[in-house]
Amino acid sequence: EQLHAWEQELRDSLNPGFLTFSLLLRLNSIKKLSTIALALGVERTRSELLPFLTDTIYDEDEVLLALAEQLGTFTTLVGGPEYVHCLLPPLESLATVEETVVRDKAVESLRAISHEHSPSDLEAHFVPLVKRLAGGDWFTSRTSACGLFSVCYPRVSSAVKAELRQYFRNLCSDDTPMVRRAAASKLGEFAKVLELDNVKSEIIPMFSNLRDRLSGSFCLSSRKRLYWALQDCPAVKTVLLPASNKYIRYCEVFKVFTYLVPAFQNLMKDCEAEVRAAASHKVKEFCENLSADCRENVIMTQILPCIKGLGSGCSRHGCVEQGTSEFLCPVLGCCLQCPEVRLNIISNLDCVNEVIGIRQLSQSLLPAIVELAEDAKWRVRLAIIEYMPLLAGQLGVEFFDEKLSPLCMAWLVDHVYAIREAATSNLKKLVEKFGKEWAHATIIPKVLAMSGDPNYLHRMTTLFCINVLSEVCGQDITTNHMLPTVLRMAGDPVANVRFNVAKSLQKIGPILDNSTLQSEVKPILKKLTQDQDVDVKYFAQEALTVLSLA
């Protein structure tokens, strides 16, 4: 009866005329497909469910996306690899729809189940599907076909391979720009499974054709794979390298070819800001992959001058050797004018520190850190908080106490809750780095002083800090220095503070010894259970129960 109800629900929800069903209901129906298929059995799934799905593909994109994803996991539900070809018709239909994300998911599922086809089934069922999609009237099917060649090519006969190469050549010269762009994005992937002779005789002409017909956004991943696949091919320098100077707008492909340094320099000087930014993010990686015998010379004479003009990206430059300090310090001064670059420098502080030294670094960074800590945008303040433990470790405890400790305390009373929360967690990390004795002498007195702040939010922050600090400060400091403040705050006039006292006692209770729990904590919690506020009563009772004091 349940199976019959599911079947009827599925048929109704996917019926083109049954449009009154909500999107959520139709999505739920699709998510039950595997359960329905399991109950139907493999034969009825193949003979009834899959044909029904193929004939009734008409719905919202969310439903079609879920269907495309489900079908990619259906192999066992149709009887295993022997019958996996039964899944091709509905996925083929989904690979032709207008919505890109649905097509992409259908192609992803087709690629997944292609590996479960035997070589004979590939030629009998999968390759014909690829040909139909590649020769379809609508560009949507032809773009989907581009992602399927590489998964079937290695396991078919020579004659079928020749056909597939011809179909791919046709896609590379298609009249529709979207199809050519899709072919370009899969060109490198296809080249990796081709025989070397065919790479030289067919892939490079395809590359040249696409290079001439596509704009500067020619697919980076395709080019990157081609360089790696063809690095021993003489045509790389004569065909692909000239193309890079004109079309490569990003720099990931420049990993191993030292003769590409001039092209990389051009990227850092590009007239488009986005191109310069992309190049700056790859400076470190590019330099690390230069040959060791020429690395320092290339960096000093060719890369650093470009960085100086670029005014960004130097924070990621961690592979420069002696003599760089004098060069990088002025560059850092220029970079620190931009908040995002300042954060980038701070996030890679250890790399920069190795190059220019902590003394010069601290002098350059301190004004930037202060400015970021007080930035009007709370997300910028949040980001600098996350880097504070790294700063503390690099700059040292004395510098931190003198210059940065006031910033950490100021964040605890920030008007944004996310900042106060992050600042509380930051204190714990700092104690882990500098030790509990440092916390006892420097941080804890300032935190406890906030318990008398007129703003109840700041008093609550005191409790939050005690919760996290107790974990790293241990029993002695918690019992003798922090617990008395918590107990005193049980008499706070604000109910939110009082029930947070109960929650704090529950949190720090396991750290305290039993005698302290019985003599000091239990009486306060008992008193709070008689509070007029219902929330205070609830959390106090919960603390008593958890601490086994009830």
Does 172 or 225 have the greater pLDDT score?
172
Average pLDDT over residues 138-146: 91
Does 204 or 133 have the greater pLDDT score?
133
Angle, CA 438 vertex, CA 471 and CA 513 arms, to 5°: 35
Task: Parse the chain into domains and list their residue ranges.
Answer: 254-373
Does 549 or 32 have the greater pLDDT score?
549
- Contact, 318 vs 348, CB < 8 A? yes
Residue 256 reports pLDDT greater than 60: no
Look at 83-87, 328-332, 464-468, 508-512 and tell me which has the smallest mean pLDDT: 328-332
Please give the mean pLDDT across all residues of the chain. 76
Q: CB within 8 A of 515, min separation 6: which ones?
A: none
Does 270 or 149 have the greater pLDDT score?
149
Closest CA relative to residue 508, chosen from 456, 463, 460: 463
Average pLDDT over residues 201-212: 69
- How high is the pLDDT of residue 65? 84
Q: CB within 8 A of 431, min separation 6: which ones?
A: 438, 439, 443, 469, 472, 473
Q: Which two structure tokens, joined as six digits, stand for 535?
A: 């929330």
Residue 326 reports pLDDT greater than 90: no
Average pLDDT over residues 332-344: 54
- How high is the pLDDT of residue 21? 44
Does 428 or 232 have the greater pLDDT score?
428
pLDDT tens profile 72-110:
888 888 888 888 889 899 899 889 888 888 899 999 999
Say which amino acid occupies 255: K
Residue 392 reports pLDDT greater than 70: yes
Residue 114 reports pLDDT greater than 70: yes
**What is the rounded distance in angstroms from the CA atom of residue 165 to the CA atom of residue 154?**
12
pLDDT tens profile 343-390:
565 555 555 555 445 555 556 566 767 777 777 777 778 877 887 887
N-terminal to C-terminal alpha carbon distance within the chain: 51
Does 306 or 320 have the greater pLDDT score?
306
pLDDT band at residue 251 using 50, 70 and 90 as cut-offs = very low
Residue 14 reports pLDDT greater than 60: no
**Percent of the residues in the chain that have a pLDDT greater than 70, as a whole number:** 70
